[in-house]
Structure 1
């Protein structure tokens, strides 16, 4: 399943970041990474810790993601999400015991989502016709 996430996200350019009650990272395609709880973004020069529930206003390192390409994406063993962007920026979303902290959404629906307790839900692969 990890490969499915990489196929959906890797190589996509960040078109926009939006805030409010959650962080939305809109990638070309369109694909959106939604973060509903705390996260950390680290660059070679700074580390910022955010809590979207406290009304997030994208600035600094977050706005610096616009135009960058997502190089790799992975779900951690604990159920968190890590996104690596060109220019050495990394966004990490830890799992949460009571909140579904992140999801990856396309126009067709949710590809995968981190659920409360560190579980991860994956969209079912469409059945391929035999024959």
Structure 2
């Protein structure tokens, strides 16, 4: 059985990437994935770590995601978001378990508002 987040995100195309104090992936179908917590991007030959709280630009392997399709998405039991792309990249967002961390480690929103939100402590709302 597919995770509900997979049925919402799988097959969507990354239409835009923006940085700042969070990474925003704008997807086809007017969906958006916002990432405020630390994350890693794993490619065929390397692993890159990103820290949005320090301010960031989509550099390194991130631009390769522009135009890519999500092939799978799931949330681990601890609350980490894992996104797989047809470029053979995997983006993994750690859950927020530290005091003073971001309000939401990651969010998925649609045209009418939030669809999935990671809460402090690794909890998930849908």
Assess same fold via TM > 0.5. Answer: yes
Bigger Rg, structure 1 or 2: 1
Question: How far off is 1:46 after superposition?
Answer: 1.6
Structure 1: gaps spanning 5 or more residues: 123-131
1:108 to 101, 109, 112: 112
TM-score, normalised by the number of residues in structure 1: 0.88
1:121 to 112, 121, 125: 125
Cα-to-partner distance string for 1:56-107 (whole Å, 9 max, x where unaligned): 1101211110011000000101011000001210000011124320000111
| Mapping 1:9-88, distance limit 5 Å | 9-88=9-88
Runs of 4+ in 1 over 2 A off after TM superposition: none
| Structure 2 Cα separation of the partners of residues 61 and 16 of structure 1 | 14
TM-score, normalised by the number of residues in structure 2: 0.92
Structure 2: gaps spanning 5 or more residues: none
> Would you say how many aligned residue pairs link Structure 1 and Structure 2?
122
1:3 and 2:7 aligned: no
RMSD: 1.4
| Structure 1 Cα separation of the partners of residues 3 and 41 of structure 2 | 23
Cα-to-partner distance string for 1:12-49 (whole Å, 9 max, x where unaligned): 11101100010001111111000011000010022110
